[in-house]
Amino acid sequence: MSPIAHRILLCTAAAFALTAAPAAFAQGDWPTQPITVMMTFNAGSGVDVVARLIQEPVSKILGQPVIIDYKPGAAGNIASEYVSRAKPDGYTLVFGTAATHGTNAALYPKLPFDVETDFVPVTPVVTVSNVLTINPEVIKVNNLKEFVAEIKANPGKYNFASTGNGTGTHMAFAELNWRLGLDMVHVPYKGGPDAITAVLRGETCCIMNQVQTVLPHVKSGKLKLLAGSTAERIAAVPDVPPVADSGLPGTKGFDSAIWFGIFAPKGTPAPIVAKFNAAVQQALQQPQIRERLESTGNSLRLESPEQFKKTVHENRKNQAEIVKAAHIVIQ
């Protein structure tokens, strides 16, 4: 090789190294600025409560503020679409659920994004248990069998609340109605606080909602728990039997737990995904965080991004089957 050619080769290699170095450095040095996590539902909702609980410890672990920004509406689709179009640099994420990244794909056939191909699953956070919760002044029953008998004796009379179309609260109740052959009217609200308020006021008789959001009202005597949505008893309310243990026809194997998790736009570098996953998993295992989550009916989800990806895929498939079998439609 001639001296001139050798010099050109060296210059070209140096130039390539200079252009490539910033990208590599950026990933290795991430994060160097605040991270925004878009919230799919409004403040005070079950998913928001969990996000707020891990916000500070994750910020400390990463050395940068984690900011929660709210874009509620359309069953979480507004925030999801926003993040699906965001720059894949690890600074804009979305806090989703089994509904936003599973059920919605079956309920909204014209979504402007694909819940699997347009996102990178970063980390699950918790599995959430729902409980059948009633206003005892509206429907005077003491257990699931009495509840079913009352509903069947009065078809179309009773309304049930949800935190929005396609949300976990909607899907759990819709599946219960389908399995038991109940005729109830679905009334969707804009998030957990509005839905719980509706039950407290007697606008609806009941809701299948997360333990952490109804427990204060149960302790005050304003609401009553009848059954849990998960196959196992819920540690926070051990005296509440699962739907599957009721002995009623169609309830065997009933397990309608949901999960909360964090997603990034497609194309987000794997090292960034891995680092955020590790930070969340570390925060979840802090004793005070674990105790707070478990005492309010949540179970930790300690999974890698690869494991979470499989969870998302299976959830999407299962939710589509329930939507079809139960003839669930958007109201």
- pLDDT tens sequence across 25-69: 455 799 999 999 999 998 988 899 999 999 999 999 999 999 999
State how far Cα 168 lies from the chain centre.
8
State how far Cα 292 lies from the chain centre.
18
Task: Round to whole Å and give the CA distance between 268 and 21.
Answer: 18
**Confidence band (pLDDT; 50, 70, 90) for 331?**
low
pLDDT of residue 167: 84
Task: Round to whole Å and give the CA distance between 130 and 329.
Answer: 21
Query: Apex CA 121: angle with CA 116 and CA 126, to 5°?
Result: 120
Whole-number Cα distances in Å, 309 to 54, 91, 244, 315: 21, 20, 28, 10
Domain ranges of the chain: 34-127+258-325, 130-245
Task: Round to whole Å and give the CA distance between 312 and 156.
Answer: 35
Do β-strands 119-128 and 298-300 pair in parallel, antiparallel, or remain unpaired? antiparallel
- pLDDT tens sequence across 113-140: 999 999 999 999 999 889 999 999 999 9
Task: Round to whole Å and give the CA distance between 57 and 322.
Answer: 37
For residue 51 the two structure tokens come to: 């996000």
Does the pLDDT of residue 220 top 80, yes or no?
Answer: yes
Q: What are phi and psi of 162, to 5 degrees?
A: -140, 170
By residue count, the chain amounts to: 331
3-class secondary-structure state, position 38? strand
Torsion, CA 26, CA 28, CA 33, CA 37, rounded to 10: 110
- pLDDT tens sequence across 165-209: 888 889 899 999 999 999 999 999 988 889 999 999 999 999 999
Q: What is the pTM of this model?
A: 0.81
110's enclosing H/E stretch is none
pLDDT of residue 235: 86
Share of the chain above pLDDT 90, in %: 69
CATH of 130-245, one of 1.10.1200.10, 3.30.1360.40, 3.30.450.40, 3.40.190.10: 3.40.190.10
pLDDT of residue 258: 87
- Domains 34-127+258-325 and 130-245 agree in fold: yes
69's enclosing H/E stretch is strand 66-70
- CATH architecture under which domain 34-127+258-325 falls: 3-Layer(aba) Sandwich (3.40)
pLDDT of residue 109: 82
